[in-house]
Chains A and B, each alone.
Chain A
Amino acid sequence: MSKPKVGFYWCASCGGCEEAVVDLAEDVLKVVEAVDIAFWPVALDFKRADVAAMADGEMAVCFVNGAVRTSEQEEMARLMRLKSQLIIAFGSCSHMGGIPGLANMTDCETLLRRVYQEVPSVANPDCILPQERCEVPQGSLTLPALHDTVSSLDQMIPVDYYLPGCPPPVKLIKDAVSAILQGAMPPKGSVLAPDVAMCTGCPRKDSKPEKLLVSAFKRPHEIQIDPAKCLLEQGLLCMGPVTRSGCDAACVEGNMPCTGCLGPTGRVRDFGAKALSAVASIADATEESKIAGVLDKIVDPVGTFYRYSLPTSILHKRNRHEGNGAH
């Protein structure tokens, strides 16, 4: 019997997810032994044409990381969907939109103006912006179109499973791969990680008081972080209570607060709203004037609460239209 064909693809991502595959270390050899890698542009020399030439559903599973924000990424995502029996959204960007998804706070025009003109380190006196098509003596050059809105993978194509994390923890990847190989997959649409919040296995859990009230939120660089005490108790915005477990509290073990990359539990529809609600619950202020004082300490609320999930949130993107109630 031939080995199942597997593909990897990346859309709008930093490349960390690819690293995560390599992080499997010697275990990657077992994977290679068990499967036939049919497509992995980062590591192996396959082209789009090779995939296009495959029969529909020829690949058993395809891991796609990164958000979708260009016409090329959209096209490739649709192609992978066609050629693969299973699509696994791999990593936060693919799962929820991720860091690139924060671009939904702005639009293409503003974004390009900022990057190509306004940034102090840019010298662009002719105000040249990237074009989808550019005529040069040698002929026409083309670039993919940039979407005005960044999407998670499942906003573009149907997704079968999600491997969460920025990047997905090695243990979750190994568990997912062995589940696929054994055909022991949970119901379609599942996130392949435990459905309990991170606090459950947090090494600092016992140090958290039953009645926690925070009067001043802090950023990690502002304090000497006590390595034994609950980070929320120290005023740091640890997203552990809101975030799915599965990373063995890696950031907390590194004495840094959880930023929520594994996303919410299966019971929460909007990570940022839930995080905000949880933080509001522990803010030590009941009068309106004082509430503002406590919450003003949170720099960049969207980047804090929706760091990985703006495109899949109920907000989806910033309302950039004029007037009240327009959408």
Chain B
Amino acid sequence: MSDLIGGNGCGVRIGVYVCHCGTNIAGTIDVRALAEFAATLPGVVLARDYKYMCSDPGQELIKKDIAEQNLTRIVVAACSPCLHEKTFRHATEEGGLNPFFFHMVNLREHDSWVHTDKVAATEKGKDLLRAAVRRVKHHKPLERRQVSINPDALIVGGGIAGIHAALTMANAGKHVYLVEREPTIGGHMAQFDKTFPTLDCAACILTPKMTAAKTHPNITLWTLSEVEKVEGYVGNYKVSVKRKPRYIREDVCVGCLECVEACVYKQAKVLDEFNLGLGKRRPIYIPFPQAVPQLVLIDPESCIEFKSGTCKKTCVEACAERQAIDFKQQERFEEIDVGTIILATGFDVFDASRIPYYGYGTYPNVYTALELERLVNASGPTAGEVLLRDGTKPKSVGIIHCVGSRDDNTNKYCSRVCCMYSLKLAHLIKEKTDAEVYNCYIDIRAPGKGFEEFYNRVSEEGTHFIRGKVADVFPTEGTNQLTMRVEDTLMSMVRQISVDMVVLAVGLEAQSDAQDVRRRFNISSSTEGFFLERHPKLAPVSTFTDGVFLAGCCQGPKDIPDTVAQAGAAAAEALALIDAGAVELEPNTAYIEEELCSGCKTCIPMCPYSAISFVADKKKAAINEVLCKGCGTCVAACPSGSIVQNLFEDVEVFDEIEGVLAYA
């Protein structure tokens, strides 16, 4: 530690602290030279370098110096403001100054970590310090605003993630709106037969939770519903939910299914979405036996009454005096106020037809893994029999791993669940058909609890494992079989394996409309399209929008235990916010200098948060400070420079730029 007392003041008394961050900064930058340099800058009365500024003694140093040296501004050159701006603002406040009299220089991420030339890095550090010292003297005292948190929560998506988060919050006594766009909750998990590695029946563990979500007094469950619009800010979101017509009065229908039996379509003719088109349903139907809510719905695309208006309406007759069927139901909108939002919008499976050489959609006996889940499921289209398209049992099945994962041409990432579900399917196929099963894999990834043991078990059951990526699938000449051509990299030879059925272990992708959803909730996404968490390690369920949290596969591929854990974490984060009762908003917002505004309206449509309105009687614009997030868009757009942003005033920004450029 070293002290350097300078003296050339200019109205403010600035203290500068250069952090070593162990060797993170001091290994590349001459921190001592930087402190000596800082001491020569106008306004700086004290400059120190110190090993860890974020440590308690480091913070104490700031407080002590404020008291002893009458400092009025603090500059800390350390790591990213994302990490420790709060820490040092707090220390500044504890020392008796307004916390916004502090400014942080990112010496680590912006300098030491990205350079190797020590001399040049030290010179750059000087430029960054000079800029901060020049800027900080303009800082004004600012007040944080408090806003209260509405205790109600919105959870978007009724898969296992949404259900678990909803139940957690509801059990904690909070009112939850659970919004699902499909006619039933349950999500992808409801389509699975067994779960790896324990081979629990998916429905047996899921349906009790689905029912609990439906019956919980604190949960308002809306299916066939989608969030249309989100306005507001943490603690006070206004959400508009579109509720699509079911053509069934939800309060009257008891789910007796007599209408379904009575439908004029004696044969089910419509491809059944829940079974991925492997089965058929009627125009009036229930998605699957354990659907929640246990209500039928009418598909207007295939219903004769909707198409021609001339149906005999035997369904209405069957429903009789209950009169639950209502062909006139219209789409409607519900406006709700919530304080927190959890997005649990799930994933799409990879479209296997994008890899034409695997023949999906061309050769009938090429299936996706999700289709096979339906085939092995007792409530599926074949009542749990694994059958080929012609109704016969396969004697040999090939499972191709990594379809649409770990592939430069489709998705580069590993979808995390395919190895394990492929092992599970291998086990189930063997159990149901006694077929020879060939798993063609790149690597077996089995890092979870009980996963490796499961792999060994399936291996011992006689499933063949071939290490190699299948290059081609084509019909075997003269038979109904398919040939998989694969390089067996353990045997160093190319093999051609004829099988009756090929199963493609398709990967997980972001929902096709994830980008729309992302914009609607004003959050970010990664390049793969999955929603982006605030920090990959330390804020894995938060987003960059306060009060909006993530759960499940919308954030990235994961299995059921991880999804449930994340849903619980998201619920806990939301509950923590709610129970705090109020949240402090950063004061780096923009405001309009009313007497200087010309009322040109340029700023109004610019605001991404609809925070700016035109005050008709004054003929000037005004910013709602609570809605403003301080993005600065209006500040840049204002043609007469009449919008000011706290902490980013022109004089601060220009002086900072000039400070950086004042070398030489």
How many chain B residues touch A (Cβ–Cβ < 8 Å)? 23
**Shortest beta-carbon distance from B631 to chain A in Å:** 14
Q: Bound state CA distance, A278 and B606, in angstroms?
A: 10
Residue A241 at the chain B interface, CB threshold 8 Å? yes
CB distance A267 to B605 under 8 Å? no
CB distance A241 to B639 under 8 Å? yes
Q: Which residues B616-664 have CB closer than 8 A to chain A? A: 619, 636-642, 650, 654
Q: Which of B595, B614, B639 contacts A275 (CB 8 A)?
A: B639
CB distance A267 to B601 under 8 Å? no
B638 neighbours in A (Cβ, 8 Å):
278
| B633 nearest CB neighbor, chain A only | A281
Q: Which of B604, B637, B642 contacts A265 (CB 8 A)?
A: B642
**Shortest beta-carbon distance from A281 to chain B in Å:** 4
Q: Bound state CA distance, A231 and B598, in angstroms?
A: 16
Given contacts A210-B604, A240-B600, A267-B650, whether A281 and B640 have CB atoms under 8 Å apart is no
User: Interface readout for B15-27 with A: 1 if CB under 8 Å, 0 if not?
Assistant: 0000000000000
**Shortest beta-carbon distance from A217 to chain B in Å:** 15
Residue A200 at the chain B interface, CB threshold 8 Å? yes
Residue B80 at the chain A interface, CB threshold 8 Å? no
Q: Which of A210, A240, A264, A269 contacts B650 (CB 8 A)?
A: A269
How many chain A residues touch B (Cβ–Cβ < 8 Å)? 28
B637 neighbours in A (Cβ, 8 Å):
277-278, 281
**Shortest beta-carbon distance from B110 to chain A in Å:** 20
CB distance A267 to B600 under 8 Å? no
Residue B599 at the chain A interface, CB threshold 8 Å? yes
User: Interface readout for B584-623 with A: 1 if CB under 8 Å, 0 if not?
Assistant: 0000000000011111111111100000001000010000
| A281 nearest CB neighbor, chain B only | B637
Given contacts A211-B605, A281-B606, whether A264 and B641 have CB atoms under 8 Å apart is yes
Between A195, A241, A275, the greatest number of chain B beta carbons within 10 A of the residue's beta carbon is seen for: A241
Q: Bound state CA distance, A277 and B638, in angstroms?
A: 8
Q: Which of B601, B636, B640, B654 contacts A210 (CB 8 A)?
A: B601
A264 neighbours in B (Cβ, 8 Å):
640-641
Chain B interface SS verdict (over half): loop
**Shortest beta-carbon distance from A9 to chain B in Å:** 31
B600 neighbours in A (Cβ, 8 Å):
197, 199, 208, 240-241
CB distance B604 to A197 under 8 Å? no
A200 neighbours in B (Cβ, 8 Å):
597-599, 619
Q: Bound state CA distance, A281 and B643, in angstroms?
A: 15
Residue A274 at the chain B interface, CB threshold 8 Å? yes
Residue A282 at the chain B interface, CB threshold 8 Å? yes
**Shortest beta-carbon distance from A248 to chain B in Å:** 14
Residue A150 at the chain B interface, CB threshold 8 Å? no
A76 neighbours in B (Cβ, 8 Å):
none
CB distance A241 to B604 under 8 Å? no
Q: Bound state CA distance, A281 and B598, in angstroms?
A: 17
CB distance B619 to A241 under 8 Å? no
CB distance B642 to A281 under 8 Å? no
CB distance A274 to B639 under 8 Å? yes
Q: Which residues B107-158 have CB closer than 8 A to chain A? A: none
CB distance B640 to A196 under 8 Å? yes
B596 neighbours in A (Cβ, 8 Å):
195-196, 265, 267
**Shortest beta-carbon distance from B441 to chain A in Å:** 42
Q: Bound state CA distance, A241 and B634, in angstroms?
A: 14
| B606 nearest CB neighbor, chain A only | A281
CB distance B636 to A277 under 8 Å? yes
Q: Which residues B39-75 have CB closer than 8 A to chain A? A: none
Given contact pairs A199-B600, A240-B600, A268-B641, enumerate 19 new A-B contacts (beta carbons under 8 Å): A196-B597, A196-B640, A197-B639, A197-B642, A199-B599, A200-B599, A211-B604, A212-B605, A213-B605, A240-B598, A241-B600, A241-B602, A241-B639, A242-B640, A267-B596, A267-B650, A281-B605, A281-B606, A281-B637
